[in-house]
Structure 1
Amino acid sequence: MCAICCMPIPSGVSAVDRTLLRDDVYRRLRDAIVDGTFLPGEQLKDGELAEWLGVSRTPVREALLRLAGSGLVVALPGRSTKVSTIDPRAVRDARDVIAAMHELAVRHTTGRLSEDDIDRMREANHRFAEAVTSGDIAAALDADEEIHRIPVAALGNHALAAVLDQFDPLVRRAERLRFSTDGHASVELHARLIDMIAAGDARAAASVAFDIWHTLAAEDGADG
């Protein structure tokens, strides 16, 4: 009940440089929701968030609007903004969109990625495996994101990247729960994906990319 009524401000976090763009405020708030710093049902007050980040209320309000569009917060005009609960249907819908986007990116970049790109994917999967084994979920999420970001960046499709930017955070909340219980299957799927890309098999690589996201059951992110 307490978490809904008041918002504990995290301590020991450096303020955002005032010269940084509003995107940095958005990312800080997004990450705080994804990593569980701000819990489902918790009320977010723009004044307190602005003080925490060392910025004015304007970029905070803009960030909260973007977060509402991603489904991470629920905004009630004139009343309050709260961190959303993890809705299995919303996670499933976002997962399906994200799977299709990554399938497209991999299909069109297989055969175009450099050896350095592929090596970076392998290294990121190695770090992912170590993070899962050690229980470092934040590091696992970062490494997982890096693996999938390489084909997306190589494709250079800004519309696709914008779709991922909107829906990825919702799915990351569910992934965080999955990686905390069993992320080892993802290590093997990543390895298969990278092998198919290295072999130049666009159809097989795209299929694996699609399947990776569909191993995430919507219920993985459900509360209770």
Structure 2
Amino acid sequence: MSYTVPPTRTAAVVRQLRNEIVTGELPPGTLIKDAELAARLGVSITPVREAIAQLSVEGLIDIAPNRTRHVTKMTQKNALELIDVMSVLACAGFEWGVENLTDTHLDLMHQRQKEFVEGLRTGNVLGAAAAGADFSTIVILASGNRELQSMVDLVVARTNRILLMTPESDIWQVWIDGHQEILELLERGDRTGATTRYKQIYTEYRAKAESHLFDE
């Protein structure tokens, strides 16, 4: 799961700021000031600056040529491009890993699905997003390709913003239904069908993002 205690102050600041950005607590365009953040979080300037640099790599914070930092704005074009990238990476990992799944993997996937649904039911969107991401991670890691998972991790927070900006939207249902059907297919031994259904999730997700999430 994704709930381990960060090993360093920088990691703790990264997690805190990432959560605030993806939930909209720090809205797109918000000016990021080192000293104010350090004072609010009770840390020195150094871990704040290191965290900002990390979140810039993840695409959550924009650093302008004059060194001012703002929370990255999300446009429809950005969102659809991110979904396309995630689709390519995650679907490749799922296809590579699905044949290696064991009963233990399936048990973990069932557990993550329960946590995903429960998180949404109770309004814990961060916990739900983490559980939903872990559902896919279990399969991707079963491929044995950790480099691929590293690439997925770089964009997952940005794609989570698309979901978390509309926590009440039926866009979540795309993932709930998709995961459940994938589990049923895997229980029947239909790995090819499960892969096809996983790819379909991204097709449906993109369509909803395109039609519902942005005005432009």
* Equivalent residue, structure 1, for 2:187: 198
For structure 1, list consecutive stretches of 5 or more residues without a partner in the other structure. Answer: 1-15
Counterpart mapping for 1:18-37 below 5 A: 20=8, 22-37=10-25
State which drifts further: 136-145 or 38-47.
Answer: 136-145
Query: Residue type of the partner of 2:214?
Result: A
* Equivalent residue, structure 1, for 2:79: 91
Counterpart mapping for 1:38-49 below 5 A: 38-49=26-37
Counterpart mapping for 1:164-179 below 5 A: 164-179=152-167
Contact in 1 for aligned 2:28/2:72 (Cα 8 Å): yes
1:222 counterpart = 2:214: yes
Query: Residue type of the partner of 1:40?
Result: P
Contact in 2 for aligned 1:86/1:222 (Cα 8 Å): no
Query: Residue type of the partner of 1:59?
Result: P
Residue 92 of structure 1 and its aligned partner are, at CA, apart by 1.1
Residue number among 186, 190, 213 corresponding to 2:202 in the alignment: 213
Residue number among 116, 119, 137 corresponding to 2:107 in the alignment: 119
Where 2:70 maps in the other structure, the secondary structure is: strand
Contact in 2 for aligned 1:99/1:211 (Cα 8 Å): no
* Equivalent residue, structure 1, for 2:175: 186
Residue number among 26, 44, 47 corresponding to 1:59 in the alignment: 47
2: CA distance between counterparts of 1:45 and 1:162?
Answer: 29
| CA gap 1:149/1:177 in 2 versus in 1, 3 angstroms | same
Residue 36 of structure 1 and its aligned partner are, at CA, apart by 1.6
2: CA distance between counterparts of 1:70 and 1:156?
Answer: 23
1: CA distance between counterparts of 2:72 and 2:22?
Answer: 11
Query: Residue type of the partner of 1:27?
Result: R
Contact in 2 for aligned 1:106/1:205 (Cα 8 Å): no
2: CA distance between counterparts of 1:222 and 1:179?
Answer: 14
Contact in 2 for aligned 1:41/1:82 (Cα 8 Å): yes
* Equivalent residue, structure 2, for 1:12: none
1: CA distance between counterparts of 2:189 and 2:41?
Answer: 45
Q: Deviations over 1:21-70 (max 9, x none)?
A: 63343222212100122111111112222233333323322322232233
Instruction: Tell me how many residue pairs correspond in the alignment.
Output: 208
* Equivalent residue, structure 2, for 1:75: 63
Task: Report the aligned-residue RMSD.
Answer: 2.5
Where 1:82 maps in the other structure, the secondary structure is: strand
Percent identity, aligned pairs only, is 27
For structure 2, list consecutive stretches of 5 or more residues without a partner in the other structure. Answer: none
State which drifts further: 80-89 or 131-140.
Answer: 131-140
Where 1:74 maps in the other structure, the secondary structure is: strand
Query: Residue type of the partner of 1:215?
Result: E
Q: Deviations over 1:147-180 (max 9, x none)?
A: 1221123233232122112111111011123442
Query: Residue type of the partner of 1:105?
Result: G
Residue 133 of structure 1 and its aligned partner are, at CA, apart by 3.7
TM-score normalised by L of structure 2: 0.82
Where 2:62 maps in the other structure, the secondary structure is: strand
State which drifts further: 108-117 or 38-47.
Answer: 108-117
Runs (4+) off by over 6 Å: none
* Equivalent residue, structure 1, for 2:149: 161
TM-score normalised by L of structure 1: 0.80
Contact in 2 for aligned 1:108/1:202 (Cα 8 Å): no
